[in-house]
Amino acid sequence: MLISDLSLDEIFQRLKRSELRFQAGIYTICVYSPYKVVAEGLKNLYQDYHLVDLDTFCDFYLAVKSPGLVRRWFRPQVVFSHDGFSPFKPLPADHAFALFEWAFNWCVGNHAHNFLLLHAAVVEKNGKALVLPAPPGSGKSTLSASLVAHGWRLLSDELTIIDPDTLLAVPFPRPVSLKNYSIDVISVRFPDMYIGRKSYDTTKGTVAHMRAPTDSVFRGSERVPIRWIVFPKYEAGSETKFETKEKGQTLIETIENSFNYDLLGRVGFDVLTQVIQDANCYRFQYSNIDEALQLFDSIAEGEQ
């Protein structure tokens, strides 16, 4: 049974009873929220995700709720808690769904230490994964959203999860987070892609999410080897540049974009050096999304 099989009201009622449980990639999640905006977000952006039975053990028990009675009615706010712990400050209630998305990422980023976790988008074509590590503002989400809308499979727009035993990238397909100008860029260039409602004035500016393609969600258990590691940089008006990046430099910058390299110690070093040895590493500057798509398609096709 999929989330799309439930009406909006059924999703809302389940959320209010902590009875909405579903599978996203390798993780199962149980969500509690008394906010209809969260139900709407799940209805519109998680329609293809499989519900799990109420007696299923969940990896994360996540609540998006009011921080107190007063803030439920006066300048309403929401807070996220996981197992009773609230790591973030309360946000305006309008940001409830965006907070859910950040919270889910936080849960994985802070607990999935049986994997090496990178702050990087990861997409796949022809059985090979392209990893896009980059700090915020580099155009990573715009590029990964474009690749996904263009037919690449989404593994994640935020977290590259690497299995240390197999060195394969583990899918964690979720809605793609778009910020500010990239919301309009994607909606104009790819009008068939569904983008949810905007949250304004968040700490990241205006945020909206693009629905993950059905195929990416359904193939959430298919792991793939990492073939390319590309550091993207959006520069308005710049020419497209695609240059080989030294592997040592790739290692250092990838470590800087890792959530748990330090925690894993020797395992993290062994995994990351081996992944980088096996991959082709590049730096990529772009401003024209069509040129970028053409370039990555030709690279993927060229290695078939």
Partner 1 sequence: MTACWGCVDSMDVIRVDMDGQTAIFDQNTGNTYVFDILTAEILLKLLENRLDEGRIKQHLIDVFQFDATDSLDDHIATALADLEQSFLVHRLSTC
Which residues form the interface with partner 1 (CB under 8 A)?
246-249, 251-252, 255, 261-262, 265-266, 269-270, 273, 276-277
Which of residues 2 and 255 has its CB atom nearest to partner 1 in the complex? 255
Which of residues 117 and 145 has its CB atom nearest to partner 1 in the complex? 117
Minimum CB–partner distance for residue 255 and partner 1 (Å): 6
Minimum CB–partner distance for residue 231 and partner 1 (Å): 15
Minimum CB–partner distance for residue 244 and partner 1 (Å): 9
CB atoms within 10 A of CB 55: 6
Minimum CB–partner distance for residue 243 and partner 1 (Å): 14
Tracing tokens 């990178």 back to the chain, one arrives at 118
Which of residues 31 and 271 has its CB atom nearest to partner 1 in the complex? 271
Pairing status of strand 241-244 against strand 280-286: antiparallel
List residues bridging with 154 in a β-sheet.
Answer: 123
Minimum CB–partner distance for residue 151 and partner 1 (Å): 32
Minimum CB–partner distance for residue 136 and partner 1 (Å): 23
Which residue, 64, 65, 63, 60, is CA-closest to 107?
Answer: 60
Which of residues 64 and 276 has its CB atom nearest to partner 1 in the complex? 276
Query: Which residues have CB under 8 Å from 182's CB, separation 6+?
Result: 139, 141, 142, 145
Query: How far apart, in whole angstroms, are the C-alpha atoms of residue 169 and residue 156?
Result: 10
Which of residues 98 and 117 has its CB atom nearest to partner 1 in the complex? 117
CA angle 62, 146, 176 (to 5 degrees): 5
Minimum CB–partner distance for residue 287 and partner 1 (Å): 29
Which of residues 137 and 248 has its CB atom nearest to partner 1 in the complex? 248
Query: How far apart, in whole angstroms, are the C-alpha atoms of residue 219 and residue 125?
Result: 13
Q: Are 285 and 237 in contact (CB under 8 A)?
A: no
DSSP 3-66: GGGS-HHHHHHHHHTT-EEEEETTEEEEEE---HHHHHHHHHHSTTSBB--TTS--SEEEEEE-
Helices (H), 164-260: 181-189, 214-218, 247-256
Q: Are 187 and 145 in contact (CB under 8 A)?
A: no
